[in-house]
Amino acid sequence: MSTRISPRMSRVGFTLIELLLVIGIIAILASIVIVAINPTKQLGDARDAQRRSDVNTVLNAVYQYAIDNNGNLPGNIPSGTAGEICRETLAPATCTAAGDVNLRMLSGTYLVSLPTDPQYATSTGTLYFIVQDTNGRITVSAPATEQAASTITVTR
């Protein structure tokens, strides 16, 4: 007795329904992964981490300058109201607007170059601010945060 294979059983491959079902499952899993990774938040967190690092770097450079100069801080750090640190690429005469702070003397010896905000820095300013309080403590801040609830600030 010979067995006969019906034409339906002899087909090899997937049906349209099976293919659509697999594609749908892959799409759902891909969307879950993209939401879990959230690249926008990850990039914002990375830029905020850079801002924290930059603020600490500037503050360390200011105090290293003071150590090397008998306790004297750079003379143009404002008291009371924070001033924006100018870009080092500007000519010293250009950094004269009210509140601008020229810290070029830190470049080369204490810093490779003055850091700038990774996203919002302007052509003239770094978008990092510095101020000296009445007790002589220096505060460096980065107000343009993305993921942090408030301004990134370091005081010493």
Say if residue 154 is exposed, middle or buried (CB neighbours under 10 Å; 0-12, 13-18, 19+): middle
Tokens of 132: 């000296």
Q: What is the dihedral of CA 34, 36, 39, 40, to 10 degrees?
A: 110
Give the torsion sign (CA, 112, 130, 83, 153).
Answer: positive
CA distances from 56 to 35, 60, 61, 81, 132 (A): 32, 6, 9, 19, 15
Confidence of residue 9 (pLDDT cuts 50, 70, 90): low
Domain ranges (residues) in the chain: 39-155
Do residues 82 and 141 touch, judged by C-beta distance below 8 A? yes
Q: Which of 20-24, 41-45, 85-89, 110-114 has the lowest mean pLDDT?
A: 85-89
Mind listing the pLDDT tens digit for each residue in 11-52? Answer: 678 899 999 999 999 999 999 998 888 988 889 999 999 999
Instruction: Flag whether pLDDT at 77 surpasses 60.
Output: yes
